[in-house]
Amino acid sequence: MVSRRASHLIFFFAFALLLLAMHWPLLTLPFHWDEMGQFVPAALDLYRDGAWVPHSTLPNVHPPGVMLLLAVVWKIFGFSILSSRLTMLAIATVGVYLSFLLAIRLSRKSPDAPAIAAVVFLIAAPLIYTQSMMVLLDMPAMTLTVLSLLLFLDERYAACALAATALVLVKETAITTPMVFAAWLWFREKRFRQALYFLAPAVALSLWLLELHHATGNWLGNAEFARFNVNQSLGFSHIVYAIGRRIYALFLSDGHFLGAAALIAGWRLLHGKEWTIAGLVAMAQTAVVTLLGGAVLDRYMLPVLPILYAAFAVAASAWARPVRLCVQASMVTLFVVGWFWNPPVPFPYENNLAMVDFVRLQQTAAEYLEDHAAAQRIATAWPFSDAILHPEFGYVRQPLNLTAVAGGVRLTNLEQLNPKDFDILVLYSADWPVKGGLLDIHPLRSLASSFLDPNINATDDEIRATLGFVPVLRWTRGGQWIEIYESIAQPHP
């Protein structure tokens, strides 16, 4: 007879081995986009200089919790991409294990162990797959949200407040979770003393904001971050787009429409105090990251997914067993297909393995330039500019000679360049869907442009007419591309 503790250890290590095996080929993948734009540089500043507020990248409101953890890991094992990705996978393993415990807790009155289905959904989801290894804030936020929720449901309020404090020091928008707990205890259960425990997360976050303001003079770290993530995001058209994006991501994308069908069929099974609290946590988190955050990234919803997938699994109990198993198997299959299949609508590359295609293309181009054009002046836009300037990100061995293109790859940005200041121009597919998407249809592209801030590349003809540069070398992968241009007057690099 296996003891309860032994069974928990078996599940934990099974999840750990499974996640490690799934990500094994990508453990040394160079850093991607926001990893090298914000979180890795901020962690390196803390690791090297003890700087809580980063100086090698623009500081912003994000608290230093994850960066502190990475700095500690690097102090022990040394800085490397491998140690970084293994650290994030360890956090993801804990998150999956705790999500399994939460699903068990929420499904105790349901037949046929829906908690197993819930954790399979979680592991198979494309967004979970990529985010599990990335140096970003949202997987740690998911892990600590689930931990806080479990402790709250167990009425371990002091420990819950401690976990919630760690949570808001990882992701500032997670303040909604301790707010829900405090409101429940104060207004619903009249436990005023315990409700006051949840002032601790607010105090901790306030102290971070005071330090940030002291160092930068701005409560959110920099004015551009505040404009994009607060002022601009509260515009009417942006809110409409954000709501649509959240509905699509949670209830339609990949296999989520099958989970939504299960919710419609069995929503009455999601009842009781525990489901009410979990639902409030999920709705509060969804609301804050819908109203705030200019990019409307799907990864912001990671803390909601363990609750959502538990709801999908439990609600499916309303169906006969053959129907339920067929629908759930189909949902998992579509999730796995979603690792590789790119949706026809705009999506962040980090949502699936398009992220790997993006990194590998930039890695190929960076290695080529280092081997064949190391002495030449290279003009390019971020993030490729950071990739060839900072060897620690995994693309080059030595910094290359960079001329940065401020603002991206639009024609208006390229027009600001003096062709005499660089020898090579490098452009790449950025944040639009890969070729074959709905935005190849011009009216839809124009409509999307009114809601988004697309980084549409200048055409070859525009580049030739404006700068006198022509394409000489191009790599493609998974519908994405990266291309090298040189002046008409000079030879191939």
pTM for this entry: 0.93
Question: Which positions ≥6 away from 469 have C-beta within 8 Å?
Answer: 419, 425, 463, 485, 486, 487, 488
158-215 pLDDT, tens digit per residue, is 999 999 999 999 999 999 999 999 999 999 999 999 999 999 999 999 999 999 999 9
User: Please, are residues 135 and 34 in contact by the beta-carbon 8 Å criterion?
Assistant: no
**For position 142, what pLDDT does the model report?**
98
**Torsion of Cα atoms, 309 then 313 then 318 then 319, to 10°:** 120
Percentage above 70 pLDDT, the chain: 92
Residue 362: its pLDDT value, please?
96
* Average pLDDT of the residues in 330-355: 93
Q: Once rounded to an integer, what is the mean pLDDT over residues 373-395?
A: 93
Structural domains of the chain, with CATH? 4-341 (no CATH), 354-487 (3.40.50)
8 A C-beta contact, residue 160 and residue 181: yes
User: Tens digit of pLDDT for each residue in 293-304?
Assistant: 888 999 999 999
**H or E stretch including 223?**
helix 223-226
Q: Is 486 helix (H, G, I), strand (E, B) or coil?
A: strand
Q: What's the DSSP call for residue 255?
A: T
Q: Tell me the DSSP string of 358-410.
A: HHHHHHHHHHHHHHH-TTSEEEEETTHHHHHH-GGGSS-SS--EEEEETT-SS
Q: What is the average per-residue pLDDT within 241-253? A: 94
pLDDT higher than 70, residue 275: yes
Helix (H, G, I), strand (E, B) or coil at 481: strand
Q: pLDDT per residue over 46-63, tens digit each?
A: 999 999 999 999 999 999
Q: Which residues pair with 426 in a beta bridge?
A: 380, 484
- How many residues would you count in the chain? 493
CB 290 within 8 A of CB 367: no
